[in-house]
Amino acid sequence: MNLGVFIVRATNPNLFDELVKALNDFEILSKDLLLAGGQESTLARRFNEGFRSLGWREARVDTDIELKLRIMPYKPAGETKPTVTSSPVSNKGCKVDNFKGRVALDLEWNAKDGNLDRDIRIMACLSLKQRRCLQ
């Protein structure tokens, strides 16, 4: 079993029960596997609808951080304080298929390495919620 399962069960027992219910109620149909998916396959749509009926929602993750460049003083030149320049950095991000409370569930049927790295980083940020994720 994945460590995440134990964490969700211990920290969010109600959401864990909802996850188990939605997964137990879901059935893969042969027609789901034979139809082309496009943006969202029939299988994915039905899977996500099971979570929507329990109050889970699609979420969009955007990040806004402040980049600070601190140039340290050079004392022989008479400089005493650092010079700080800051600028905002925004990343208009991606969607998470199912989100409720502090639990996110993303259905991947054709995962790519870059997407997985991004998704793992987003899930880590969501789990830290109050902390800065992108330092």
- Position 50 confidence tier, pLDDT thresholds 50, 70, 90: very high
Q: Cα(19)–Cα(5) distance, rounded to whole angstroms?
A: 10
Higher pLDDT, 99 or 36: 99
Write down the pLDDT at residue 134.
44
- Position 127 confidence tier, pLDDT thresholds 50, 70, 90: low
SS (H, E, C) the chain: CCHHHHHHHHHCHHHHHHHHHHHHHCCCCHHHHHCCCCCCCHHHHHHHHHHHCCCCEEEEEEEEEEEEEEECCCHHHCCCCCEEEEEEEEEEEEEEEEEECCEEECCCCCCCHHHHHHHHHHHHHHHHCCCCCCC
Q: Cα(52)–Cα(79) distance, rounded to whole angstroms?
A: 59
46: how many CB neighbours lie within 10 A of its CB?
Answer: 14
Write down the pLDDT at residue 126.
64
Report the percent of the chain where pLDDT is more than 90.
39
Q: Cα(134)–Cα(62) distance, rounded to whole angstroms?
A: 12
